[in-house]
Every structure is written in structure tokens, then in C-alpha cells.
């Protein structure tokens, strides 16, 4: 932490996608600021946040875009996907519908994003163990079928959030270098 980076080797644009209320904004703030907001308000107006990490001796600035509530209105535009090298596709393990919609989001990515985009499927709210509806096995099977990386996270506890982003950035780094 608090490392001063005097050079940036790469800037990787990453988009965060998925149904409303699955925890996209919280995952982003957990990764970027290590914070969770207990009464989170909508984030209209915020476009992206950045975090700089070192991967294989390369200084990488992750520029991570949040839909800022636009997914409610199906207004995620092609500008959002433009130049994106990675995508975090988030569902809520306690909401079946948010998982059922993942296929649509993958289709959206395949249509609008670069074909080499690296996609990480994220089952969030892993802390809500008693409310789980979507099994790890179902999600893993879907991810393997669609060629996606997969992780289960909790933005609340922080579990696996950093490792999911680091895995995604490592994979992007492999693709671009
Ligand atoms: P977004 O609409 O996808 O950006 O979702 P938000 O980040 O605004 O989160 C939606 C709601 O889910 C908020 O009430 C969050 O506090 C809650 N939430 C987000 N992530 C988690 C998590 O990992 N665990 C739990 N228990 N709640 C979460």
C-alpha cells in the first residue's frame, strides 16, 4: 500500500457489469479503496475509478468503469465497452434472476466489446450463506462452458475481491504482452 509509482507501463480498462443491486459499486470500492458503504447511494455521475498494481514487474493502472446505475435503463452504451480489455460480470448468489441474466450480459459483451476481452464471472454476497440460491457448481459449469474465469466474492467481508481483480489483470497482461 501507499507505493508511489513513478511510471505506468499499461492502462487497462475494465468494465463492471451485471444486474442492478448485485453489488457492482461495492465490489469496486472494496477493491479501489478497501471500503464498504453501509448505506450506499446510487453513483450516478461517477464514471471510473483507478487503482495501480504491479504484476510481473509491470506497473498497471486499472481504470475500472461502473455502469453508474445505467443498467436499470438498459442504457449501457457501446462507449462503455469501447477499449475495454476486461469485464467483471457480477451476479448475486442470493438472486436467481441475476444469475439467469448473466447469459444476456455475456451476449452483450460478445456483441459490443473486443473479441479478446477477458471476462471474470463473479458470484457476489458470499457472506449471505443462509440465503444462497445459486450453487457454486452451476456457476462454475456455466463459466467453463462460456470460457469465463470465475470467483465468488463478498464485497462486505472483502473475501476474494482483490484476488479476482488481480487474476483478471494478470490474464489481460498475458493477452496484451
Ligand atoms: P449495484 O447496483 O450492482 O452497484 O449494487 P450496490 O453495490 O449498490 O449494492 C446493492 C446492495 O447490496 C447494497 O445494499 C449493498 O450494501 C449490498 N451489497 C453489496 N455487496 C454485498 C455483499 O458482498 N454482501 C452483502 N451482504 N451485501 C452486499
Provide the pLDDT confidence category of residue 67 given band limits of 50, 70 and 90: confident
CA of 107 from ligand 1 middle (Å) equals: 24
What's this model's pTM, rounded to 2 decimal places? 0.92
Q: Is the CB of 26 under 6 A from ligand 1?
A: yes
Model ipTM over 0.95 = yes
Q: Is the CB of 86 under 6 A from ligand 1?
A: no
Tell me the pLDDT tens digit for each residue of 107-117.
Answer: 999 999 999 99
Question: Which ligand 1 atom lies nearest to the CA of residue 67?
Answer: 4
User: What distances in angstroms separate CA 173 from CA 11, 51, 57, 116, 140, one per listed residue?
Assistant: 10, 15, 11, 12, 23
Which range is least confidently modeled, 63-67, 72-76, 83-87, 145-149?
72-76
Question: Which ligand 1 atom lies nearest to the CA of residue 157?
Answer: 23
CA of 58 from ligand 1 middle (Å) equals: 32
HSE, CB side, 13 Å, CA atoms: give it for residue 26: 23
Of 16, 17, 18, 21, the one to substitute when testing ligand 1's pocket (max ligand atoms within 8 A of C-beta) is 21
What is the number of other CB atoms lying within 10 angstroms of the CB of residue 166? 15
CA of 116 from ligand 1 middle (Å) equals: 29
- How large a percentage of the chain has pLDDT more than 90? 75
CA of 130 from ligand 1 middle (Å) equals: 16
Tell me the pLDDT tens digit for each residue of 54-65.
Answer: 999 999 999 999
CA of 39 from ligand 1 middle (Å) equals: 10
User: What distances in angstroms separate CA 8 from CA 34, 54, 133, 148, 166, one per listed residue?
Assistant: 22, 9, 42, 27, 16
Amino acid at each position: 500500500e501507499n507505493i508511489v509509482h513513478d511510471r505506468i507501463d499499461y492502462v487497462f480498462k475494465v468494465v463492471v457489469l451485471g444486474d442492478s443491486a448485485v453489488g457492482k459499486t461495492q465490489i469496486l470500492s472494496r477493491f479501489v479503496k478497501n471500503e464498504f458503504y453501509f448505506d450506499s447511494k446510487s453513483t450516478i455521475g461517477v464514471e471510473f475509478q483507478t487503482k495501480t498494481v504491479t504484476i510481473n514487474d509491470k506497473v498497471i493502472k486499472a481504470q475500472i468503469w461502473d455502469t453508474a446505475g445505467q443498467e436499470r435503463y438498459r442504457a449501457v452504451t457501446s462507449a462503455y465497452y469501447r477499449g475495454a480489455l476486461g469485464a467483471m460480470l457480477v451476479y448475486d448468489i442470493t438472486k436467481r434472476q441475476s444469475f439467469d441474466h448473466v447469459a444476456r450480459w455475456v451476449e452483450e459483451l460478445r456483441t459490443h466489446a473486443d473479441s479478446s476481452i477477458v471476462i471474470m464471472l463473479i458470484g457476489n454476497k458470499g457472506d449471505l450463506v443462509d440465503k444462497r440460491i445459486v450453487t457454486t457448481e452451476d456457476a462454475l459449469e456455466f463459466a467453463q462452458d462460456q470460457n469465463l474465469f470465475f470467483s465468488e466474492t463478498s464485497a462486505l467481508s472483502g473475501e476474494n475481491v482483490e484476488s479476482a481483480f488481480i487474476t483478471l489483470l494478470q490474464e489481460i497482461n498475458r493477452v496484451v504482452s
